[in-house]
Amino acid sequence: MTLQQVELTSDDLRHLVSQRALDGETVLLNMGPQHPSTHGVLRLLLELDGETVVNCIPDIGFLHTGIEKNIEAKTYEKSEVMTDRLDYLNTMGNNLVYCLAIEKLVDLDVPARAQTIRILFTELQRIASHLVWLGTAALDLAAMSVFLYCFRERERILDMMEMASGQRMMTTYFRPGGLWRDLPEEFIPTLEQFLDDLPARIDQYEDLLTHNPIFIDRTKGIGVLTEEQALGYSITGPTLRGSGIAYDIRRAHPYAGYENYEFDIITEEGGDCYARYLVRIREMRESIRIIRQAIARLEDGPVRSNNRKFVPPPRSELGTSMEAVIHHFKLWTEGFPAPADSVYVPVESPRGELGVFLEGDGGPKPYRCYWRTPSFVNLQVLPLLSKGHFVADLVAIIGSIDIVLGDTDR
Amino acid sequence: MAVDLKSVVTHLEKNFAAEAREFRGQTKLLLSPIHILEASRSLRDQHGVERLAALSAVDYWPERSPRFHIIYEFHSLQHGFRFEVRVPLEGDEPSLDSITEIFPAANWHERELWDMFGIRINNHPDLRRILMPEDWVGHPLRKDYPLGYEEVQFTFNFEEIELRKPRPKD
C-alpha cells in the first residue's frame, strides 16, 4: 500500500459553502463539538445569513473508536462487549443485533424463554432511550423540568437492567444462543410496578409538552421531512414514521419472535419535529403493551441453547463432566468457528434500522463486522432540514432526529 | 407486473450478467463494477427498490483476488424484500462509480468507503474523509493496516515509552 500524505487545501473545501460566504456576505460559524445541544460531539459548520441558516455542514468522527476494526481481532463472544459502547442508549439492542447475526451465521437456536426476555429488555431499552431523548430534546427547548422527570423514570429502568445483568448500562446480557443468566426472582414484580406507574407519568410529560403553546411554536412546521426525502436518504425509525410511512422492521422482517406480539406501528403526518415527538411518545405506550404481553408469555425453561459447540456449559457441570470441561476450555480459549460467508441482520433500534453485516472466514474471529447505524444515516438529512430555519430551530431539529454520537462514529 | 425478489434477480442476471446465490435465506448477487450505476438506476425506477439500506466493503487482502468486495444492501419497502449486491474491485487503489445521484443516502457511505478502505469514488459530490481526521495517513479498515496497541507503562520502562509517545503537532 502506498502511503501518501493527503493535504487538504482550502480549495478542496470551497465547494461546501456558497459564493456569498467567500465574499463575506454571510458568516461562517462553528457550532460544537462541545456544544451542549449537539448531544455529544457533533460539530456543525454553519453558514449564516443574520440568524438564518443558509447551509449546515456536519462534521463527525470525534467519537470514532474503531470498534469495527477491533471486533475483527477478537472472537465472536469476546467482541460482544464492545457492541455496548456503540449506541450507549440502546445497549441491549446492540447486543441483540450482534447475537442475532452470530446466531444466523452459525445457525444456532435460542430457547423460547430467552427470546421472550430479549424482547422484554429491548422494549424496556426503547422506553429508556425515548425517555432520554424526550428529556434532552425538551431541555434544548428550555423545558428543564421534563428532563428531570424523564431521568427519574429512566433510572428505574437502569436499576432493573442492573438487577438482571449486574450493570446499569453496559450490560452484555444477551449472549449468542440465549442470555447470560436467568432473571432474578424480584425482577418481574419490580417491572410490573414500573409498568403500572409509567402510563400516568407519560401523561404528565404530555401535559407539560403536547399542548404547551411554546413547545408547539418551537416544533410545529420546523424541519419538515417529506416522504420522498426520507426514502431517498434511507431514513428509518421514528423519524421516518413521523413522515407518515408505516415501516417498522419488527413488523416487516420480524426477528426474535416479534411476529407473535400485537402492537401498532405509530405514524404521524406532518414530518416536522412535533410529529416526531408524538411518534416517540406514542411508541413508549406501545412498548408497554409489548412488555405486558412478554410477561404473560414468560414460561419456565432454559435461557441458553443446549448446543455445547457454541454455548459454554453451566458452571455446575464443570465439576462432574470431563466433556463439559473440554467444551468450556475450547470455547473460552479458542472460541467457536463460523462459516466463511456473510449475513446482514437488521433490527429496529429506538433510532431506526440497526443492521449488522457479519462475515466469517471459517475461524473463530469475525472477518468483517460492519455496523449500519441509524444515527449515521439519519444525520445526513440534517443540512436538508435545517436550511432556512433559525439557529435556535436547528437545535430543535438536531434533537428531533435523535442522534447518538457513539452510534454515528462507531 | 408483479415485482418480487425473483423478478429482480432475473432482471439483474439477464441485463447485467449478475450471479445469484443464497445463504441462510438471504440473496446475494455478484455484479461487475461497470454495471453498478445502471443497475441501481433500473432497480429504483423499474423495480420499486426505494432504499439503499447499507453500503460497505470487505477487504480480502492477501488471500483473495479481486481484493475488495463492495456490499450494497438494497431494500424495497413497497414490495418488502431485501437483497445484497456484491461488487468485486481489483487492485490496491480501486475506483468505483458513485450512486449518490440515485440514492442520496449513499453520500456518506461512499465517503466512509474512501476513508476506511481507500476506494476512490468517481463523480462523488464531496469526497472527503468522514470519520478519521483529514490529515490521516492510510485507510484503517484495510487488512494490511495494523491494529496497533499501546505498551503498558511500568516504572522500569517509563522513560523509554515516554520518549516514543506521540505528541501533538506544533
- Taking only the tens place, the pLDDT of each residue in A122-145 is 999 999 999 999 998 888 887 888
- A377: nearest CA in chain B? B105
B132 touches chain A (CB under 8 A): yes
Interface ipTM: 0.86
Which among B24, B80, B118 has CB closest to A104? B24
Structural element, H or E, at residue B20: strand B19-23
Which among B54, B58, B138 has CB closest to A359? B58
Q: Do B54 and A5 touch (CB under 8 A)?
A: no
Grouping H, G, I as helix, E, B as strand and the rest as coil, residue B157 is coil
Contact A359, A384 (CB under 8 A): no
Q: What is the pLDDT of residue A120?
A: 92
- Residue B67 is assigned to a structural domain of this protein: yes
B119 touches chain A (CB under 8 A): no
B52 touches chain A (CB under 8 A): yes
- Residue B120 is assigned to a structural domain of this protein: yes
Q: Where are the domains of chain A?
A: 1-62+376-392, 67-306+337-372
Cell numbers linked to A187: 425482577
Phi, psi for residue A396 in degrees, rounded to 5: -65, -35
- Residue B154 is assigned to a structural domain of this protein: no
pTM comes to 0.89
CA A242 to chain centre: 17
Measured in residues, chain A has a length of: 410
Q: How far apart are CA A190 and CA A371, in angstroms?
A: 34
- Residue B10 is assigned to a structural domain of this protein: yes
- Residue B151 is assigned to a structural domain of this protein: no
Which among B105, B144, B147 has CB closest to A234? B105
Residue linked to cell 479458542? A334
Residues facing B95 on adjacent strands: B120
B85 touches chain A (CB under 8 A): no
- List chain A residues with CB under 8 Å of B138: 1, 3
CA A273 to chain centre: 19
Phi, psi for residue A357 in degrees, rounded to 5: -100, 115
- Residue B40 is assigned to a structural domain of this protein: yes
Burial code (b: 16+ CB inside 10 Å, e: under 16) for A359-369 equals: bbbeebbbbbb
- List chain A residues with CB under 8 Å of B51: 231, 234
H, E, C per residue of chain A: CCCCCCCCCHHHHHHHCCHHHHCCCCEEEEECCCCHHHCCCCEEEEEEECCEEEEEEEECCCCCCCHHHHHHCCCCCCCHHHHCCCCCCCHHHHHHHHHHHHHHHHCCCCCHHHHHHHHHHHHHHHHHHHHHHHHHHHHHCCCHHHHHHHHHHHHHHHHHHHHHHCCCCCCCCEECCEECCCCCCCHHHHHHHHHHHHHHHHHHHHHHHCCCHHHHHHHCCCCCCCHHHHHHCCCCCHHHHCCCCCCCHHHHCCCCCHHHCCCCCCCCCCCCHHHHHHHHHHHHHHHHHHHHHHHHHCCCCCCECCCCCCCCCCHHHHCCCHHHHHHHHHHHHCCCCCCCCEEEEEEEECCEEEEEEEECCCCCCCCEEEEECHHHHHHCCHHHHHCCCEHHHHHHHHHHHCCCHHHHHC
Q: What is the pLDDT of residue B2?
A: 61
| Pick from A52, A40, A47, A51: nearest CA to A23 | A47
Residue B77, min C-alpha distance to chain A (Å):
8
Q: What is the pLDDT of residue A6?
A: 56
User: Cβ-count burial of B123 within 10 angstroms (0-12 exposed, 13-18 middle, 19+ buried)?
Assistant: exposed
User: What percent of chain B lies above the pLDDT cut of 70?
Assistant: 98
Q: Do B126 and A16 touch (CB under 8 A)?
A: yes
Residue B133's pLDDT band (cuts 50, 70, 90)? confident
Specify the CATH number for the domain of residue B92: 3.30.460.80
pLDDT in tens, B38-57: 888 888 888 888 889 899 99
* Number of structural domains chain B divides into: 1
Q: How far apart are CA B14 and CA B86, in angstroms?
A: 17
Contact A65, A326 (CB under 8 A): no
Biggest alpha carbon–alpha carbon distance for chain B: 75
Q: Do A60 and B104 touch (CB under 8 A)?
A: no
Q: What is the pLDDT of residue A116?
A: 93
- Residue B161 is assigned to a structural domain of this protein: no
Q: How far apart are CA A233 and CA B80, in angstroms?
A: 18
- List chain B residues with CB under 8 Å of A255: none
Q: Which residue has the higher pLDDT, A285 or B64?
A: A285
CATH, domain A67-306+337-372, list 1.10.645.10, 1.10.290.10, 3.90.420.10, 3.40.50.300 = 1.10.645.10
Q: What is the pLDDT of residue B91?
A: 82
Q: Do A409 and B131 touch (CB under 8 A)?
A: yes
Q: Give the domain extent around B69.
A: 5-134
* Regions of chain A short of the pLDDT cut 70: 1-10
Q: What is the pLDDT of residue B63?
A: 81
